[in-house]
Amino acid sequence: MRDGVDLLVPAGAVISDGRLTIRITEASTLTIYTKADAFISVPSASKGVAGNLITTAKAPAGAISTTQLPVIASIAGNPTSTDMTEKHVDGTGAAAVFSAIRAIKFDPNGNIIVSDDGVIRRVTPAGVVTTLNLQPKDRGLDGIAVDSTGNIYGSFMTVIPAPWVGPPSERIPTYGGTIRVMDIAGKTEDFSANWIASSTEPFIALGDLVADSQGNLFLASPGTNNIIKFTSWGSMSVFVGNGTEGNNDGRGRMATLSAPSHLAIDANDNLYFVDRKNATIRKATPDGTVTTIAAPPQGDSNLDTKLSPLPIPAPYGPIAIDLAGNIYFEMPFGFLAKIDIRGFITSYYPTDSSTMGISSMIADNKGNLYLGTNGSAQIRKVSF
């Protein structure tokens, strides 16, 4: 593809810049913006009208662009440590050792609070790692949140073994969920004990946890296809979703979700979440109104051939939103993506393995992105 040259291609055409590949899967009239060195191929089996425009012109809002990730700095964690094989070691920078980073959140002082396979740890902006308190003995916390006063909340699943009677097919364990809180003095107690109990769903209480400006907590519950709200005094209710898998937008229980997993919350208490089985990014306003704001293609794992909602590469894991309203999310193979407030979509490709195995991400008020990664268990910083 030469600069200043436009091409019209039919369905079946493939556009590649060496890092990201887009395949046009159906008859359409797309406009795809690319760089001058992109490679365009049209298989001999492609048929139909050449109605898709490939151009090197400047992309408008809503278009997807690709670029290399900026330099990624390691804040804390030994790069040679591997997930679940190391013990917890406090220290500064690479002298600290993490075991398995499950979740990260900021506290009011700009420190990063880490759920690390059995312990809660604090990482200062200078990379000093300190262990704060033990988590439940049966498993590490699956989600953590920090409120405006510095209280740390953690959610975890409990397992009740099946009675050892009857045939094996009838020995079904049950599951429950509990949220605990640790105050700024280090005192730990149940915040909402056994908010669900005796469930046969093995993925209960395994989603992300966030706090809003009013002290309410929101827990993604992929096993029950909804998001649970806990008030500041521990009262529980279903915020959005009715338990039925689906992708319908609506308010409260009128909306249907499919395995919501990772959460982020903006300055206005709007909740953003990855709906894992739908592979979509969705938004829930404080009154519980759910809208789908970005979606991947139907029947294709690369890019959408529809423009409403915003077409995105399939979201894979964690999500974050910064103070300006830019949304970041993980894609497969270590790619990251950003949807900015104008609707521009940028796909960032890695140059090494530093973004593989992202378990959690958060954004600070300066637009920096922090990643909790496993594989090599570290806290990393991306400055855009």
313 touches 303 (CB < 8 A): yes
CA 275 to chain centre: 9
Instruction: Supply φ then ψ for residue 65, to 5 degrees.
Output: -120, 160
- CA distances (Å), 77 to each of 37, 103, 127, 129, 304, in order? 38, 15, 9, 9, 37
CA dist., res. 303 & res. 313, Å (int): 5
CA dist., res. 136 & res. 177, Å (int): 12
Residue 176 confidence (pLDDT): 79
The closest alpha carbon to 24, from 317, 239, 16, belongs to 16
Instruction: Supply φ then ψ for residue 348, to 5 degrees.
Output: -105, 125
For residue 315, give the DSSP letter: P
For the stretch 42-59, pLDDT in tens is: 888 887 888 888 888 876
Residue 174 confidence (pLDDT): 79
Model confidence, pTM: 0.81
CA dist., res. 107 & res. 113, Å (int): 7
- CA distances (Å), 84 to each of 81, 97, 100, 112, 376, in order? 9, 11, 5, 20, 10
* Residues 188/193/197/200 CA torsion (nearest 10 deg): -30
Structure-token pair, residue 325: 């309203």
Low-confidence ranges of the chain (pLDDT < 70): 1, 18-20, 25-28, 59-64, 82-86, 134-140, 163-165, 168-170, 202-203, 296-314
**Segment 277-286 long-range contacts (CB within 8 Å, at least 24 positions apart):** 277/245, 278/247, 279/314, 279/315, 280/247, 280/309, 280/315, 281/312, 281/315, 281/319, 281/327, 281/329, 281/339, 282/249, 282/257, 284/227, 284/239, 284/240, 284/255, 286/212
For residue 111, give the DSSP letter: P
124 touches 106 (CB < 8 A): no
Residue 138 confidence (pLDDT): 46
Residue 107 confidence (pLDDT): 97
Q: Is 126 exposed, middle or buried (0-12, 13-18, 19+ CB in 10 A)?
A: exposed
Residue 295 confidence (pLDDT): 79
Residue 225 confidence (pLDDT): 93
214 touches 265 (CB < 8 A): no
Structure-token pair, residue 214: 């009013």
- CA distances (Å), 111 to each of 44, 114, 265, 355, 379, in order? 56, 10, 18, 21, 12
